[in-house]
A and B are shown apart, each in its own frame.
Chain A
Amino acid sequence: MAESTVQTVQEKEPLFGKKERKLITDPLNDNNPITVQVLGICSALAVTTLVAKALVMSIAVVFVCGFASLFTSLLRNSIPKQVRMIVQLVIIATLVTIVELTLKAVNYPIYKELSVFIGLIITNCIVMGRLEAFSMANKPWRSFLDGLGNGLGYGAILIIVAVIREIFGKGSLMGIGLIGAGDNYFINTLAEGSWFAWYMPNNLMVLPASALFVIGVLIWIQRSWNTKLVDIS
């Protein structure tokens, strides 16, 4: 579909062509905000103890990053250059407050769990970095996709880290018990004659420091497989 429109309507950019697809896929791998640009590490350490928390945080960042990029891009020609950073910050802060108020109404326990970290999306360098680097110079649709892509790139790493930390730290996944001491776990290490009686959840995985180790290992894996990243940073 997309290719045929390119041929018939001359010089009109396709809505979702190769370039646009690249805006989404690039931040997932080659230009990942966490593993390649090393941004947004702080919240990646804090909210990755449980997959549910990481998932909500990812959705929030995808929303904020996407729409902040869209609105900034729509306003890019009328934003006074002297105060552009402040304007961007106001846009981000507005969206973050909307997310916070909505989450408080929709799922109060998760809102309580994430506490300050939703508010701290305002200071997440990924969002502001994309506004400065991309949205201020590009058209709305492409900026929106770029924002979404970067949010997704951040979210993907967050969820991978959270899955690893929750399984090894708590013995569960999305709150469903896999292995641990008790009847509510799939493999009950306390059960008589259990093969896993030696198993203990690794408490280090619950501590914030372990997220750094996990991200470090992820960066290592990514670079050994995607060798063109090795010399970039």
Chain B
Amino acid sequence: MHSTGYIIRFTLIMTTIVAIILAGLFSVLKGIHSENEAIFNKRAILKALGDNLGQKVDDLSDEQVTTIFKDQVQQFSLNMSGEVQENILAEKIDMKKEKKKPEADRTLPLFVFEKEGQKYYIISVRGNGLWDEIWGNIALKSDMNTIAGVSFDHQGETPGLGAEIKDNPTFPSQFKDTKIYDDAGVYRSITVRKGGRKNKIHEVDGISGATVTADGVTEMLIRGIKYYEPYFNKIKKTSKIGMN
């Protein structure tokens, strides 16, 4: 049997050594971690463009992703009334934190991708799935109505069911060429319809066995896209496309 004093000394020394090792390793790798995270998020944003990017996102190297972001992507941070916030960089916006804020105080990221004179507006949305949060990026064409592509991700949806929103490429591909406004200009968003879509303009097919996740996607889109409406209206009114 060891004495109480020995036990206390042993645990103190051990925890100190462990703390020093882990803190050291963490601070050494911290730079690489945040770099990786930034690249990962940029890939997710570019993924929303789908075919319009011209290349597959997975085939791009990290450097290429950074170059595309530097040369072809403009970033804007918007407040809820659609005004551009000068001092915040859009890629630094943490959507998870923004979702916890009251709606009026949120900042929205907007990425404008330009290729061959064509502009794409990529917006970020976040909502709730079955088990945890789901989020996505939506690329809109310059009419701010037609969807050019989407990419979704999730925290903990069931593989084979809810996780299909990310894993099965046919789900996001259905969103291509759907519209968020109807012909009369009324906001309709996109609905994920259980049992198959009834029209190809405002609806996509659901995933069998994942009704709650699908409804979460619908809810996320209705709310999330609407947040950008003030900005869209402003742009449409000045009939100037883009910020320049």
Contact = CB atoms under 8 A, between A and B. Distances in A.
A207 B158 contact: yes
B196 interface: no
Interface string A64-103: 0000000000000011111100110010001001100110
A78 B10 contact: yes
B243 interface: no
Nearest to B2: A80
B159 A49 contact: yes
Interface stretch (A18-26, A105-113, A122-130): A105-113
Nearest to A98: B25
A86 B15 CA distance: 11
Nearest to A205: B160
A206 B161 CA distance: 9
A208 interface: yes
B22 A97 contact: yes
Main secondary structure of the interface of A (DSSP, over half): helix
A112 B40 contact: yes
B34 to A, nearest CB: 10
B186 interface: no
A33 interface: no
A182 to B, nearest CB: 8
Contact of B29 (A81, A104, A204): A104
Contacts of B36: 104-105, 108
Interface string A47-69: 00100000000000000000000
30 contacts: A79-B10, A80-B2, A80-B6, A81-B1, A82-B2, A82-B7, A90-B14, A90-B15, A94-B18, A94-B22, A98-B21, A98-B22, A101-B29, A101-B33, A102-B25, A102-B29, A104-B33, A104-B36, A105-B32, A105-B33, A105-B36, A108-B36, A108-B37, A115-B155, A169-B160, A203-B160, A204-B160, A206-B160, A207-B159, A207-B160
Given A104-B36, A115-B155, A206-B160, 13 more contacts: A82-B1, A82-B7, A83-B7, A83-B11, A86-B11, A87-B11, A98-B22, A98-B25, A101-B25, A108-B33, A108-B39, A206-B159, A208-B158
